[in-house]
Amino acid sequence: MGLVESFPHPGRNATGFSDNLSDLSGKLVELDRYLSAERAIIDYFWYTAWPDGQNRYAATEQAAQAAGMTLRSKGISDVAQLDDAFVAIKQAGARTVIVQPSPFTYTQRGPIIASAKKNGLGTIFAFPVAAREGSLIAYGPDYLHMYRRAPLYVDRVLKGTNPADLPVEQPTKVELLVTTQTAKTLGIELPLPLLIRADELIE
């Protein structure tokens, strides 16, 4: 987005923390492959009105192609289109769907999870909190750790440190959460390698 020149050396008047969600595209595809071993299609739901959405879509499409899979997407521009989108995804033969990480899908994660489950779809989010709210899988950074670090940066800037001299910090902890109760509700069998990899199983 051009806010900084690089993570180690921002070089401008901005610094802070990156969630690196765009870099997790390959991991989300890999997780979906565990559940779609017999299929060559990865289903993807995204919010088209977000300027950075196309970039994250492209990153996921590249990851799917590198894995020998085809990315089949359904985008919406308004929350009112949510139910119709998941009906269409289900009718296309999907059982699971990757939800693109974005400000929209974070704030609307409750309705997204509810609509997907109503249509028999397991969701894969990049926000760990989503697993505790009913998504099938969540894989993403520990935001609480970043929130705890943020006041330290604020303190240094207020004391005169130039933001350009403060590296943009990246997540040091990424969690994989699997909701076994959602899997049971949807009749989705969770492969043993996925269960072994999980940092937490939520029943």
For 120, residues 6+ apart whose C-beta sits below 8 A from its C-beta are: 90, 95, 186
- 96 near 123, Cβ under 8 Å? yes
Domain ranges of the chain: 21-141+174-202, 143-172
The pLDDT, as a whole number, for residue 3 is 80
The pLDDT, as a whole number, for residue 98 is 97
pLDDT digits (tens, 9 = 90+) for 152-199: 889 999 999 998 889 888 777 889 999 999 999 999 999 999 999 999
Question: 56-83 b/e with 16+ CB inside 10 Å = b?
Answer: bbebbbebbeebebebebbbbeeeeebb
> If DSSP codes are grouped into helix, strand and coil, which group holds residue 68?
coil
146: its two tokens: 């970043």
Amino acid at 21: L
The pLDDT, as a whole number, for residue 7 is 85
The pLDDT, as a whole number, for residue 16 is 84
Q: Per-residue pLDDT averaged across 59-82, rounded?
A: 94
Distances (CA, A) of 12 to 19, 28, 83, 99, 161: 19, 32, 42, 32, 12
Average pLDDT, the chain: 91
pTM: 0.86
pLDDT digits (tens, 9 = 90+) for 85-102: 999 999 999 999 999 999
Among 7-21, 62-76, 104-118, where is mean pLDDT lowest? 7-21
Residue 54 CB: number of other CB atoms within 10 A? 12
The more confident residue out of 40 and 122 is 122
CATH class of 21-141+174-202: alpha beta
Name the strand (E) or helix (H) holding 97.
strand 96-99
Pinpoint the alpha helices (H) of the chain: 25-35, 53-66, 82-91, 103-107, 109-118, 128-131, 143-158, 180-186, 192-197
